[in-house]
Structure 1
């Protein structure tokens, strides 16, 4: 899949374009959710996921979303990141909208993600709060895991 925006930015799911070193820096050093994640874990997660990158050109990756999916019914968005220089320019909503459209085209009809503070960004792509959060369970053994979220948080 490849789609280009009017300003020349483009989204691609071509694994050959992914800048693994940059993704490692973004996730392990700049994100709150992946702080300290080992390089090997980042590389394995990229290899085991459907990665959609955003690029300024063929050599300059400026964002990504890593999607975990069964390619039939369900997709989970994770490690969503947009380079600081491109934030506030609509890149995040555009990326999410294009991924949802791409995966809907193959029949996926359920999408999930977790966000601390970008609810309005994902709402632009059609996401809404989980209807029955009490139905969801998790095991979280990350060293720097976030605390529980309350109904207000």
Structure 2
């Protein structure tokens, strides 16, 4: 049985860390302490096949105006079965995330998935700014 849960006690932090730090393109070498802190300070969604965690996503939000979706993944052995859609559906319909004015995310390769949930390219990219920093472990 496939299930989505926001219960942080069910999350397999070691599995999340392993995927993010070794398999993802966006979080290579991310320190486990950073993963733990990011989970503590986000609304997290675990995707489970029976009791085995097979996917993850987290949402950084103020629950009133804005939400940013981050660290979305489905383990390779479970990809291609619609589980990413299931995870995104759970996020987009979560009761605490309704009526937000703005959602955001970044992706190199999953535009088609996110477009199914209403995401588009930035309407005014010239209005957006960022700071990116290379963070070393334990900082």
TM-score in same-fold range (> 0.5)? yes
Give the aligned partner of residue 36 of structure 2: 43
Tell me by how many angstroms 1:107 deviates.
2.8
SS for the counterpart of 2:69 is: strand
| Residue among 74, 78, 89 paired with 1:97 | 89
Number of residue equivalences: 136
CA displacement 1:12-71 (0-9 Å, x = unmatched): 10111100000000101111100011111111111111101100023x100011110001
CA–CA distance in structure 1, aligned partners of residues 80 and 29 of structure 2: 26
Unaligned 5+ segments in structure 1 are 1-7, 145-153
Q: Which has the higher contact order (CA 8 A, sep 6+)?
A: 2
CA–CA distance in structure 2, aligned partners of residues 104 and 24 of structure 1: 26
Given that 2:63 and 2:97 are in contact with CA atoms closer than 8 Å, whether structure 1 keeps it comes out as no
Give the aligned partner of residue 80 of structure 2: 88
TM-score w.r.t. the length of structure 2 is: 0.91
Runs of 4+ residues deviating >3 angstroms: 103-106
Give the aligned partner of residue 150 of structure 1: none
Give the aligned partner of residue 30 of structure 1: 23
| Residue among 3, 7, 28 paired with 1:10 | 3
The CA RMSD over aligned residues, in Å, is 1.6
Unaligned 5+ segments in structure 2 are none
Give the aligned partner of residue 68 of structure 1: 60
Structure 2 CA distance for partners of 1:15 and 1:143, relative to 1, 3 Å: closer
